[in-house]
Structure 1
Amino acid sequence: MTRRLALALLAGAASLAGCTVGPDYKGPPPLGAGAPPPAFVRADAAAVPTAAQTGRWWTALGDATLDLLEQRALAANADLAAAQARLHQARAGLRVQRANTLPSANVQGTYVHARLPGLSLEQDGDSSSRFDFYNDGLTASWEIDLFGGRRSVEAARAQAGEADAKLADVQVSLTAEVAQAYVSLRDRQRRIALGTQSVSLGEQALLLGQQRLDRGTATRGQIEQARQQLDEARAQLVPLLTQRDAYLDELATLLALAPGALDAELGSAASAPLPPREVAIGDPAALLRNRPDIRAAERELALQTAKVGVADAARFPAIKFMGIFGLGGTSPSDLVDPGKLTALLAPQISWSFLDFGRNRAKLSQAEAVRDEAEAKYRTAVLAGLRDAEGALARFRDQRLIVADRARALASATTAADIAAQRERAGTATKIDAADAERRRLSAESGLAAEEAALTAAFIGVEKSLGLGWS
């Protein structure tokens, strides 16, 4: 009778195992008025709607040094290592949840000494029974999640997906930060070189002015003006030197190195790389698929939806089976007697039906957390779209600024050439030619700064699209 009851419980549990409670996750919710448009509205002709590659976008800048720095950062960065560790934790948690749905077996030895009142097996007048039980063999247990079903596994799978998306988000931020720091470093190095030339010209102009003053062909006011220009040129050089060192240290930190470790390697001046003529940006729908923070928000919504099912299942009965199979009996010698084969099956049913609304409150709490996750997903979508549109607008407008700066440099170069020709012809002084050359250097420095800003805007576009992970 007991065996039939156990088998009946097992069959009933198997038939109820499919009765999973809680909502089924059907993907991210419709966005309604916040749905993305078919194409980005702030893009210009340089931003083409072809599909963007999610991986090594920085190679489009054509700078071998930057490529190497990105590779080293992806291999050594501490924040990235921490995100990878969190992903490993989440994946291990998924394996644990999957294993929890299956029976477990252990090898163990058991000794039981029992006294059972009301049951007499001995003829000594005692109304209770005392006996010893020895067993060695296998113990097995299986807790059947009748109503939670696959919800715990669904939650663990969504959590692993969220950790994966957050790892990708760290990669996106890291690659953008490395590229931005590198471009800023090259910009400062180039402008330091130009500023040094400007200081040299100012020193020459001051020396020539002093000579003219000594000959009586210049005024004290002209000398003070030349000295003022020289001091301003020197003052403008100082913050550039400070910023250069700061970007060297930032790059070293991103590569998990001590400050100053890259000074010798990157100390030689070089121009900042320029973005390609055309930039593939895809469309807003692709942004929702590629951008890691949006994918992480969607996986968080899936996680909290599964947890609603887990909370709902806690209101229903649970069944657990425990069994022992091995050799044993009432004496230690039975542990090695093949004829003393023993088997024990102990089904257990538990149901917290009287909890004064505790489980119902936990279910309401889980549903509220799920609603919060849905609202955060919608916010993440709108923030991602706004970020991308803003980055595209900055890239578009910066291209116009660079064009204006290039024309200004062309005019300043022409003016400097004319002044040099006049100086050689004797119709202009060396001071006039030096002033014209200094203005040309200033225009070139301005163009260098705006070109670096253009590359920074390109980096911003790639980051806003969620690119830089693989």
Structure 2
Amino acid sequence: MRFPFTALPLLALAACTTGPDYRGPETARPATPGAQFARASGDTGPQAPAAAAWWTALNDPVLDTLETRALAANPGVAAAEARMRQARASLRSERANALPSTNASALYVHATVPGLDLNDSGDSDQSGGGSESLNFYNLGFDASWEADLWGGKRRGVEAARAQLDAAQADVADAQVSLTAEIAQAYVHLRDRQQRIALARDALARQREMLRLTEQRHAQGTASALDVERQRHLAEQADAALPPLAAERDGYLNALATLAGEAPGALDGMLAAPSKAIVPLPPAQVAVGDPAELLKRRPDVRAAERRFAAATAKIGVAEAARFPSISFMGLIGIGGTSPGDLVDFDKLAAIAMPRLSWSFLDFGRNAARVGQAEGARDEAAAHYRQAVLDALRDGEDALSRFGNGRLSVASAARSKASADRTAALTRQRFEAGAATRIQLLDAERQSLSAAQSLSQATAAMTADYIALQKALGLGWR
């Protein structure tokens, strides 16, 4: 068998691929590889953190259960996964478009041809001027295939593959956002529950101080002004409870809906324990370097993959400017009677090569190429913005987390001082050197310091969670 050398030009053309080759964005490589974040402190480690399940470092089994349930049932993640399946199907479609298409067909044609007469037997009579009815039956197959001379279909597959990668990164990004939202809502819930318990204890002491002051006023040892001052403080303490309760209920509802449940469905699981404790972050936090961050952040990866897809689509538009060659083949059996459908002697086969070229399109193809190049430049700009946003998020989160640690340390010192004051006042009260009102006031101030410490701790843990989100952690 001799090789058809006339096919060599077609094979050479089939190896061509129009459009620019994607080589990756330049900004994907930081100017100082291996450099630490500017805001990193001694409490952050240079090693790269693990991508998933960062919340387990908070050592809270209820939070772990919430995260697992939310990742399995959250509608937002489910929608992102559905878009990923759409992108996967689009990739299969683009791959199939490069292959021949085959169809089976069955045909019946009834035609009445004027100018011919039919005799009594139904055969045509060429001598008259009437009409003739013709029947035609056919069973067959047809196949068509367009040669990918300029690589347009290959670029289409390349673009679809990049879009699938972007959709997978979007799923990871949805998981990152969800795990951070769950953890932050849970931390704030525990803070509100703890502060409500402390506020109730402080209110009880303030009311006791009011009662004692009223007794002293009745005995003539306290003025009406003293009573009104204590009543004002009691009303203030009482007024602080409803806003905390409203915020607690809001976080309960948020956690339920994030987990894919109706509001109130998780109230039993999230009820305040005997002593609500705000989860604490670990002593050291691994942040890695900016280069690792850009590789790990799903939103950055999604933007980079969309940049790659937009670059490949330029090749699709470029290929449409050149001639295309397609091949069609038909094969079938049939005739003028149904019996001809099983007569293999009446086999017909047709092969039809076709060349088409829209060279005179008045700039339409050039405009499509220009649109594709503009879309590529837009995707490149979005990628650069995603990189800058990621680096800024990391720096901001590190700064807030570091300063949050300082706030907690200050609040803890204040709480320790208030506790010592309360203990000394109790000793003086037991020795008869201090009144009960003074003791209650010292205990109230200790409870107030405990509320401030809880608030500062919750803010610091929330900053830790924001840092995990900024680092692109929490996806599976």
Q: Which TM bucket (shorter chain)?
A: over 0.9
Classify the secondary structure of the residue corresponding to 1:328.
strand
CA distance in 2, matches of 1:34, 1:179: 34
Find the counterpart in structure 2 of residue 382 from structure 1. Answer: 388
Tell me, yes or no, if the aligned pair for 1:405 and 1:450 is still in contact at 8 Å: yes
Partner in structure 2 of residue 76 of structure 1: 73
State how far apart, in whole Å, the 2-side matches of 1:323 and 1:137 are.
Answer: 11
Q: 1:8 to 1:330 in 2, by over 3 A?
A: farther
TM-score by length of 2: 0.91
Deviation for aligned residue 1:199: 0.4
Question: 2:93 is matched with which residue?
Answer: 96
Matched, 1:245 2:249: yes
Map 1:15-26 → 2, pairs under 5 A: 15-26=12-23
Query: What does residue range 153-232 of structure 1 map to in structure 2 within 5 Å?
Result: 153-232=157-236
From 280, 284, 307, the equivalent of 2:313 is 307
Q: Quick one: which amino acid aligns to residue 59 of structure 1?
A: T
Q: Please report how far the alpha carbon of residue 284 of structure 1 lies from its aligned counterpart in structure 2 after TM superposition.
A: 0.8
SS in structure 2 opposite 1:19?
Answer: coil
* CA deviation map 1:32-60 (0-9, x unaligned): 88777621110111111111111111001
Aligned AA (2:460): L
Contact 2:334/2:346, CA 8 A, preserved across alignment:
yes
Higher mean C-alpha deviation, range 160-169 or range 318-327:
318-327
Paired position in structure 2 for 1:316: 322
Report percent identity of matched pairs: 54
Range with greater deviation from structure 2 (390-399 or 261-270): 261-270
Aligned to 2:118: none
- The separation in 2 between residues aligned to 1:364 and 1:77, in whole angstroms, is 40
Matches within 5 A, 1:20-99: 20-30=17-27, 38-99=35-96
Per-residue deviation, 1:281:
1.1
Query: Which of 157-166 and 192-201 deviates more?
Result: 157-166
What's the offset of the Cα at 1:75? 0.7
Shift of 1:31: 5.9
- 8 Å Cα contact 1:183/1:455 also seen in 2: yes
1:337 to 313, 338, 343: 343
Counterparts in 2 of 1:109-148, with a 5 A limit? Answer: 109-111=106-108, 134-147=137-150, 148=152
Q: How far off its partner does 1:12 sit?
A: 5.0
Amino acid at match of 2:284: E
Q: Which amino acid aligns with 1:265?
A: M
- C-alpha separation in 1, matches of 2:281 and 2:47: 17
Q: Contact conserved, 1:19 with 1:149, CA < 8 A, in 2?
A: no
Answer yes or no: is 1:443 the counterpart of 2:453.
no
* AA matched with 2:258: L
Structure 1: how far apart are the matches of 2:309 and 2:108?
44
> Structure 1: which 5+ runs fail to align?
1-6, 117-121
**Corresponding residue for 2:431?**
425
Deviation at 1:346, TM superposition (A): 1.7
Q: Is the CA contact (8 Å cut-off) linking 2:138 and 2:335 kept in structure 1?
A: yes
Give the aligned residue type for 1:43: A
Aligned partners of 2:190 and 2:272 also within 8 Å: no
- The superposition leaves residues 167-195 of structure 1 with CA deviations (integer Å, 9 ceiling, x where unpaired) of 11110000000000000000000000000
Q: Which moved more, 1:333-342 or 1:27-36?
A: 27-36
Change (3 A) 1:125 1:389: farther
2:268 corresponds in structure 1 to 264
Counterpart residue type for residue 152 of structure 1: G
- 2:360 matches 1:354: yes
How many Å separate the matches in 2 of 1:161 and 1:224? Answer: 68
Does the aligned pair in 2 maintain the 1:22–1:308 contact within 8 Å? yes
Q: Tell whether the 8 Å contact from 1:113 to 1:133 is kept in structure 2 after alignment.
A: yes
The range that moved more, 424-433 or 313-322, is 313-322
Deviation by residue 1:400-437 (Cα, 9 ceiling, x = unmatched) = 11011111000000000011111111111000000000
What CA distance in whole angstroms lies between the structure 2 residues aligned with 1:331 and 1:29? 70
The residue type paired with residue 316 of structure 2 is V
Partner of 1:119: none
Preserved CA contact (<8 Å) 1:13 1:319: no
**Cα separation, 2, equivalents of 1:152 and 1:347:** 24
In structure 2, C-alpha distance between the alignment counterparts of 1:329 and 1:12, rounded to whole Å: 40
Aligned positions, number: 457
Give the structure 2 partner of residue 434 of structure 1: 440
For 2:305, the aligned partner's letter is R
Paired residue secondary structure (1:349): strand
SS in 2 for 1:233: helix
2:406 aligned with 1:400, yes or no?
yes
The whole-number CA distance in structure 2 between the counterparts of 1:164 and 1:77 is 16
Residues 240 and 318 (structure 1), Cα distance of their counterparts in 2 relative to 1, 3 Å cut: same
Separation in 1, partners of 2:249, 2:190:
11
Q: Does 1:275 align with 2:281?
A: yes
> Which residue in the other structure is 2:121 paired with?
none
Residue number in structure 2 paired with 1:455: 461
Say whether the 8 Å CA contact 2:56–2:64 is kept in structure 1: yes
**How many angstroms does 1:265 deviate by?**
2.0
CA RMSD of aligned residues (A): 2.4
**Which deviates further from its counterpart, 180-189 or 33-42?**
33-42
Q: Secondary structure in 1 aligned to 2:26?
A: coil
Contact 1:18–1:149 (CA<8 Å) still a contact in 2?
no
> Are 1:285 and 2:282 counterparts?
no
SS at match of 1:150: helix
CA, structure 1 residues 100+125, in 2 after alignment: closer, same or farther (shift >3 Å)? farther
Q: Which residue of 2 aligns with 1:370?
A: 376
TM-superposed deviation, 1:18: 1.5
